[in-house]
Structure 1
C-alpha cells in the first residue's frame, strides 16, 4: 500500500488537474459524439471545416505566409546566434538522431500515405495545366512540394522555437502556455494558460489518433496483398491494439532509449527504400522531374504563398491548400512541443536550418521518387492504371506503385515496416507531448501518464474506426486550426520580443556582452 501511495502521490503532484481532466473530458466527448452520433457529428464538423476554409481562407494564407517570412527574418537577425539552454549548453542528441525524430514527428504516416496518391490526384486535376497532360506532371509535383514544404515546417518552427526558448532559456514549463508569458505575464498560470494547454492537448491526441487510423489501413492493405487478409475495420482495430502495445513500451522507455532509437532505424529504412525505388524505377525520369519541379516551386513560391481565387466557384483551394494549412496549424502544438523537447543545446540558426531545410528536402525527395515513379507508371502506354487503383483504395496506393517495380514483395515488406515504425513513433511522440503538457510542462513526466495517453490514442483511433467517426474527428482536429492560429500569432510576437531583448542576440557567438551582464535583469529584458 505504501508503494501505491507513493506512486499516486507522485502522479498527483506532477499532474495539472485542470488540464488533465479537461483534456480527457473533451476527448471522451468527441469519441461519444463521433461514435454515437456519427452522421450528425460528421455533418457538423464537415460544415464547420468548409466554412472556416471558405470564410477564413484569406486569413490562413496571410498567417502561414507571415510565419514563414518571420522564420527567415529570425534566421537573418543576430538572434540566430542564441543557443537554446544558454551559451554553454550542448545538444542532447546527435544530429542524425535529431533529424530522424524531426522527420518522424513532423510528417510520419501522412507522408507515406499521400506520397503516391497526391501527385496522381493533382495530375488528374491540376491547378494550372491540362489534366493528365505532360505539363500536368511537373505541376502535380510542384503543388505537392508546396503543400508539404517550407510553409508546413515554418508553422512548426515558430511554435517549437517559442516553446524551446521559453523553457530552456527562461525556465518556464515545457507547455504551450509558456509562449504567452511575454504578453500576459503571470496569468499563464491561470485559466487562460489552462485553456491553451487543453486545446493543444486535445488537438494533439485527435491528430495523432487520425494518423494511427490511416496507418492501420495501410498496414491492413499490405497484409491483404501478402496473406489475403480481409481489409476490414476489425482487422485494423486489432492492428491498432497490437501496435499501441509496442508504442506504450517504447514511450515508457523514454526519448533516448525508445523514440530516438526507433526514429533512427526508421530513417535508415526510409533512406534505403528511397534509394531502392530510385535505382530500380525510372531513375532519369525521377531526377529530371525533381529538378524541374523544384525550380518551378522556388520560382512560384511568392505567388503561390499569397494565391487566392476570390469569388470563384472552384473548390480547389479549399479542398487542398486551405485544408493543409488548417491541418498543419492544428498539428503545430504536437510537433512544436516535441521538437522543442529534443532541441536543447542547438543554436537558433542550427535549429531553423535543421528543422526547415532537412525534413523539407527529404519530403521533396520522397514525393519525387515515389510520386514520380507512380506518375511514370500512370503515363506508360501499357502500364498499370494507378490512378484508378488509388481512387478505389487510397490506403493501398504505395503498395500499388511498388507492385509495378522489381522485387515488389521485398520492397512492400520494407514499406510496411516503415509504416509500422512511423505508427509507433507518432504514438510515442504524441503521448509524450500530451503527458508533458498535462503534467504542467514537466519534460520528464510520470510513466503512468505516458501509458494513459498512449493507450488513449490507440483507443480513440480504434473506436473511431469501429464506429465510422474517423472523418468527423479529422475535420474536428483541422477545425481546431482556427483557434490555434491565434496561439501561433501570439507565439510569433512573443518570440520576436524575447529574442530582441536577449543580450546574447547582440553578439556573433551568442554570448552576452560584459556590459549587458552588469545590468539588472529587468533592464536587460
Structure 2
C-alpha cells in the first residue's frame, strides 16, 4: 500500500503528525522544548534577522507581476494557443477570491482598521489622521502586495502545467534552473517545503475562522463561552462539512461554495453600505484609494530602524507578508488549476485588480462603519474589542444597525462557508502537491490532509491562540520565500527561451 504514496506525501504526513503530537504533549513534560516556547524563539529570531527580507521580497514580487503586464510575454497563453478559459470570469473571480482571502477578510474587516485607528503606526490614535491612516494600511495589507505574491506562484504553476505540460507540483517550475535534479531529492525537499507552508498557512486561517465563529456565537447567544472547547467543537463540525464537500470534486463542491461565498459577502456588504453612513463610506473609499496609490512606494519599504521599541511593522506588515507567502503554494496551486486558457496579461490584471478593489471596498464599508460609530457617535466598539477580543468586533458593529440578528447570523454563515471552501481547496491542493501533481487526487488522500490541517489548527489554538497562529505562518513562510524568488528567475528563463523559439519560427516562415 505504501508504494502508491509518493515520498513527498510520506515525509509530509510524518512531519505533520509529529508536529501535532508534539503540540499535544503537556508543557510540564517539556518545560523548555514545548511547541509554544520553540515557535516563540524561532518567530523572534526570524523577525529580528529577516523582517526586512519579507518586506523586500513581497515588493519584488509585485513589481515583477506588474512588469509582466506590459512585457512582450503578456500575450502568451497559459495553455495551448487554441485553449479557452475553463470558467467564466465571474466564477473564476469567485473561486480565487474565496481561496485567497476568505476568512481573513471577514475576521479583520472591522478589527484591523479599528486597531490602527486607536494605535496607528505613526502619530496619535483616535484622531482624524489616524482614521485615514487606518484605512490606508488596511488597503495596503490586503491589496496589491498579497495578490502580487499569489500571482507569481500561480502564474508559474499554470504556465509550466498547461503550457509546458509538466506535473503541477512546485518543484517542476524550477526545472529551467536545476534541470532533472528536481525529479530527485531536491524536488522532494522543494515540494515538502511547499506542503509545510501550506499546512500552517491554512491552519492559521482555519484557526481565525474558529475563533470568530466562536466569538460570534458567544456574543449573540448567552451561555456559550468563547474558549478553546467551543473552538474545538466548531473545528470538528466544520471539518466534517468540508470533508463532505471535498468528496464532490472541484467542479461541484468548491465551485458552488465559492459562488455562495461571493453572494453572501456582497449581500452583507451592500446591506451595511446602505444601512450605515453611505456618503461617509464612499468618500472614505475614494480618498483612501488615492492615498493608498500615492503612498504605495513609501509604505512598501517602511521599517523603523531608529525606533527599536516600535513593533508595529513586525506585528502587522511583516506578519501579513509572511502569511501571504505561507498561503502562496496553496492559493497559487488553486488559482493555477482554474486559470487554464487565459493569457499572462489577462491573468495578472484579473488577479491583481479585481480582488484589490473589492478588498478596498470591503474595508471601507466595514472599517469605515466601525470608525464612524466610534469617532462620531461615541459607540464603544474599541472597548468591546478590548474586553471580548478582536473576533467580536464585526458583531459589535452589526449590532448597531437594523436586522442585527439576521446580519450577524449571515456573517457566521459566511465565515463558515469561507472556512469550508478554504479547507476544501487546501485538501485538493495538498493532495495534488503530494501525488506528483495529480489534478484529481483521491478522496482518501484529501481525507488524510483534511484531518491533518484541522489537527494543526486545533493544536496551534490550544498552545497559544491567535499569537501561535501568527507565529506559525511567519516561520513556515521563510523557506518558501526563497523558493518563490527562484521561481521568478526560472519563469523568466523559460519565457525568454519561448520567445527565442517563436522568433525562429517567424523567421523561418518569412524565409
TM-score, with structure 1 as normaliser: 0.91
1:36 aligns with 2:25: yes
For 1:45, the equivalent position in structure 2 comes to 39
Over residues 376-418 of structure 1, what are the superposed CA-to-partner deviations in whole Å (9 max), with x where a residue is unaligned? 111134x321112122311111111111111111111111111
1:181 is matched with which residue: 158, 172, 175? 175
1:360 aligns with 2:356: yes
Pair 513,358 (structure 1): closer, same or farther in 2 beyond 3 Å: farther
Q: By how many angstroms is 1:324 displaced?
A: 1.3
Structure 1 CA distance for aligned equivalents of residues 103 and 150 of structure 2: 17
Pair 516,193 (structure 1): closer, same or farther in 2 beyond 3 Å: farther
Structure 2 CA distance for aligned equivalents of residues 112 and 505 of structure 1: 47
Checking the alignment, whether the CA contact within 8 Å between 1:93 and 1:342 is kept in structure 2 is yes
1:142 aligns with 2:136: yes
Q: By how many angstroms is 1:467 displaced?
A: 5.1
**Equivalent residue pairs, number:** 503
1:465 aligns with 2:461: yes
For 2:198, the equivalent position in structure 1 comes to 204
Structure 1 CA distance for aligned equivalents of residues 103 and 482 of structure 2: 27
Pair 19,288 (structure 1): closer, same or farther in 2 beyond 3 Å: same
Checking the alignment, whether the CA contact within 8 Å between 2:201 and 2:476 is kept in structure 1 is no
1:299 aligns with 2:313: no
**Aligned with 2:247: secondary structure?**
helix
**Aligned with 2:87: secondary structure?**
coil
1:388 aligns with 2:380: no
For 1:305-384, what aligned pairs fall within 5 Å after superposition?
305-313=300-308, 314-381=310-377, 383-384=378-379
For 1:110, the equivalent position in structure 2 comes to 104
Q: By how many angstroms is 1:210 displaced?
A: 2.2
**Aligned with 1:234: secondary structure?**
helix
For 1:152-191, what aligned pairs fall within 5 Å after superposition?
152-191=146-185
Unaligned runs of 5+ in 1: 1-7, 520-525
**Aligned with 1:52: secondary structure?**
helix
Over residues 141-185 of structure 1, what are the superposed CA-to-partner deviations in whole Å (9 max), with x where a residue is unaligned? 001111111011101110111111111111111111111100001
Structure 1 CA distance for aligned equivalents of residues 122 and 169 of structure 2: 42
Q: By how many angstroms is 1:232 displaced?
A: 2.8
**Aligned with 1:320: secondary structure?**
helix
Unaligned runs of 5+ in 2: none
Checking the alignment, whether the CA contact within 8 Å between 2:174 and 2:490 is kept in structure 1 is yes
For 1:267, the equivalent position in structure 2 comes to 262
Pair 468,299 (structure 1): closer, same or farther in 2 beyond 3 Å: closer
**Aligned with 2:401: secondary structure?**
coil
For 2:443, the equivalent position in structure 1 comes to 447
Pair 517,395 (structure 1): closer, same or farther in 2 beyond 3 Å: farther
Checking the alignment, whether the CA contact within 8 Å between 1:207 and 1:477 is kept in structure 2 is yes
1:397 aligns with 2:397: no
Pair 480,286 (structure 1): closer, same or farther in 2 beyond 3 Å: same
1:81 aligns with 2:75: yes
Structure 2 CA distance for aligned equivalents of residues 398 and 473 of structure 1: 20
Q: Which runs of 4+ in 1 moved over 6 A?
A: 504-507, 516-519
For 1:151, the equivalent position in structure 2 comes to 145
**Aligned with 1:129: secondary structure?**
coil
For 1:65, the equivalent position in structure 2 comes to 59
For 2:9, the equivalent position in structure 1 comes to 20
2:281 is matched with which residue: 278, 286, 295? 286
Checking the alignment, whether the CA contact within 8 Å between 1:176 and 1:200 is kept in structure 2 is yes
Q: By how many angstroms is 1:477 displaced?
A: 2.9
Structure 2 CA distance for aligned equivalents of residues 255 and 505 of structure 1: 35
Structure 2 CA distance for aligned equivalents of residues 256 and 262 of structure 1: 10
Please report the RMSD computed on the Cα atoms of aligned residues, expressed in angstroms. Answer: 2.1
Checking the alignment, whether the CA contact within 8 Å between 1:159 and 1:336 is kept in structure 2 is yes
Checking the alignment, whether the CA contact within 8 Å between 1:35 and 1:469 is kept in structure 2 is no
Pair 183,37 (structure 1): closer, same or farther in 2 beyond 3 Å: farther
Checking the alignment, whether the CA contact within 8 Å between 1:126 and 1:140 is kept in structure 2 is yes
Pair 267,504 (structure 1): closer, same or farther in 2 beyond 3 Å: farther
For 2:123, the equivalent position in structure 1 comes to 129
Structure 2 CA distance for aligned equivalents of residues 504 and 82 of structure 1: 13
**Aligned with 2:307: secondary structure?**
coil
For 1:408-427, what aligned pairs fall within 5 Å after superposition?
408-427=404-423
